[in-house]
Structure 1
Amino acid sequence: MRILVRTSRLAIWGRRLALFGFAVLLVSTGLHMFGQIASPVFEIALVIGTAIGALAFALGVAAYVTLWVSGDKGWGPASVGVFLGLVCLGPALAALAFARLYPSSADVTTAVDDPPRLVMAAPDAPQIDPESILQSFPNLITRIYQIPPEALFVLAQDLLRANGWTVLGIAEPSQVDNRVTVNALRRSLLGWENEIAFRVAASPMGAQIDLRSASLGPVYHDLGDNGRAIEAFLLALDDRVNAYIRDNLAMADDEPIAVPGSSGEEPQAQ
């Protein structure tokens, strides 16, 4: 008597759904990174892909149990469903981890009382506690450097361009407000758009700079993306300012000191 060995339908559907969910996430992520679809569309695709991945994972696990009991075929398709289902769940799990690790920084600044002005972003974030922001981003504070404001502005603008951010506008200083503000557009790794603004002003010690970063549209939680971005900008700016000061000190040390009679002429008697 021949025993009929079948392929588990749970395993087959788990693989099909896993492949479909993975394709949805992969294609939508690529399109969003290159600006081909809007962020709301991408977020809907993320939800759909994640839900399909969760279903594929559940079917794959159910297929394992069925195969163990029945002895049918389908371990390969079931494994594909479980593995790709976990891959599809990866972004959601990472988002949960970042949401637990960081407070929302959908609109953060180093100058809470007088933040730099935004020209495009219209954040609709919940009230953010400055103390919790500083706990998560301890370097997110106003910088004061002992260099001329003009030099600080050039260093900050060069760093902005080096990061690949697009300049939206430069607000020149006025007679009332002798401060320069630069606004720029920053795209995150996955394609979300944020606006960065930095403001340079003179200070009694030299120059100071304040930053602000905000999501371009209303978001409930940015997973700390804006806070990490401007904190990294400030740390990189610290390095550039230190290099600027070191280079200028070296140039000052290399300047020859004029000594009377050093040109070969006898000093004139008084």
Structure 2
Amino acid sequence: MRILVRTSKLAIWARRLALFAAALILISTGLHFFGQITADVFEISLVIGTIFGAAAFLIGIVAYVVLWFTGDRGWGPASVGFILGLVCLAPAGTALALSEIYPSTADVTTALVDPPQLLEARPNHPDIDPETVLASFPNLITRAYQIPPDVLFLIGQSLARANGWEILAATEPTDTSIGQLNALRRSLLGFENEIAFRVSPNPIGALIDLRAASLTPVYHDLGDNGRAIEAFLLALDDRVSTHIQNNMAQTVPEEPPVPQSDLTPGQESDAQ
């Protein structure tokens, strides 16, 4: 007698749902990164993809149990549904973890009283506790450097361009006036943020303050803006230190050679 071995329908559906979820997440991420869909559409696509990924993951587990007892075929499709479904849950899990680790920095600045002005971003977010933000990002403080304001502005501008930010507007400072630069930064997933830094003259050199805000209103940016401007400030520290060291090396005068006629006979023999 020939025993009929069937392929589990649960395993087949687990694979189908997982493939659909993965395709939806990948395609929507690519379209959003290249600006073909809006942030709202992208977020809805992620939610739908996560739901289907979770369904594929759970159905894959049930298919494993059924296959163990029935002996049907379908271990391969069930594994695809289980593993790929778990992969599709990774973005949601990462977002959940980041929201627990970092406070929202949808609009964050080093100058709480008078932050730099924005050109395009219109942040709309709940009040953010500055102490909570500073606890997570201790480097988000006003910087004071012992270099001229125009030099500090040029260093910051070159760093912004090196980071791939799109310059929206730039006004250079002088010894008595304030300068500001506004730039557009695109995150890894394609979300746009505006970053502004302001350079002010200071008795000992220059001050710089930064502000970063999501271009579209978001409830929680997972600390993305905070990490971006904190990294900018740390890189700026290094560049300013290098600039000061290079200028100090160039300005140290060399000792002039002593004329031979000014040497005593004993000194002449030592010099020879």
Give 1:192's aligned residue: 191
Q: Tell me the equivalent position of 1:126.
A: 126
Query: 1:193 deviation in Å?
Result: 0.1
Residue matched to 1:146:
146
Q: Tell which deviates more after alignment, 37-46 or 107-116.
A: 37-46
The residue number in structure 2 matching 1:238 is 237
- In structure 2, the residue matched to 1:40 is 40
Superposition pairs for residues 141-180 of structure 1, below 5 Å? 141-171=141-171, 178-180=177-179
1:90 and 2:75 equivalent?
A: no
Q: Contact 2:108 / 2:225 at 8 angstroms: preserved in 1?
A: yes
Matches within 5 A, 1:211-230: 211-230=210-229
1:19 maps to which residue?
19
Do the aligned partners of 2:210 and 2:229 also contact (CA within 8 Å) in 1?
yes
Q: Aligned partner of 2:153: which letter?
A: F
Q: Distance in 2 between matches of 1:256 and 1:4?
A: 95
- Ranges in structure 2 where 5+ consecutive residues have no aligned partner: 263-272
Greater shift in the superposed pair: 226-235 or 53-62: 53-62
Structure 1 residue 68 and structure 2 residue 64: aligned? no
CA distance in 1, matches of 2:173, 2:234: 26
Residues matched between the structures, number: 262
Aligned to 2:35, what secondary structure does the other structure show? coil
Partners of 1:173 and 1:17 lie apart in 2 by 57
Shift of residue 2, structure 1, vs aligned partner = 2.3
- Shift of residue 42 of structure 1? 0.9
Cα distance in 2 between the residues matched to 1:173 and 1:119 = 18
Q: CA deviation at 1:224?
A: 0.1
Report how far residue 171 of structure 1 moved.
Answer: 3.9
Shift of 1:30: 1.2
Report the Cα distance in structure 1 between the residues aligned to 2:212 and 2:91, rounded to whole angstroms: 23
**SS of the residue 2:128 aligns to:** coil
> 2: distance between equivalents of 1:124 and 1:62?
43
Q: 2 CA distance for matches of 1:216 and 1:171?
A: 21
Equivalent pair of 2:174/2:201 in contact (CA under 8 Å): no
Give the Cα–Cα distance (whole angstroms) in 1 for the partners of residues 197 and 37 of structure 2: 28
Counterpart residue identity of residue 99, structure 1: S
TM-score relative to the length of structure 1: 0.93
Aligned-residue offset at 1:205: 1.5
The alpha-carbon deviation at position 256 of structure 1 amounts to 3.5
Name the SS for the 1:170 alignment partner. Answer: strand
Structure 2 residue 59 is the aligned partner of structure 1 residue 59: yes
Between the aligned partners of 2:38 and 2:239, the Cα distance in structure 1 is: 35
Structure 1: where are the runs of 5+ without partners?
Answer: none
Q: CA RMSD in A?
A: 1.8
- Does the C-alpha gap of structure 1 residues 56 and 152 become closer, same or farther in structure 2, counting only changes over 3 Å? same
Secondary structure at the residue paired with 1:185?
strand
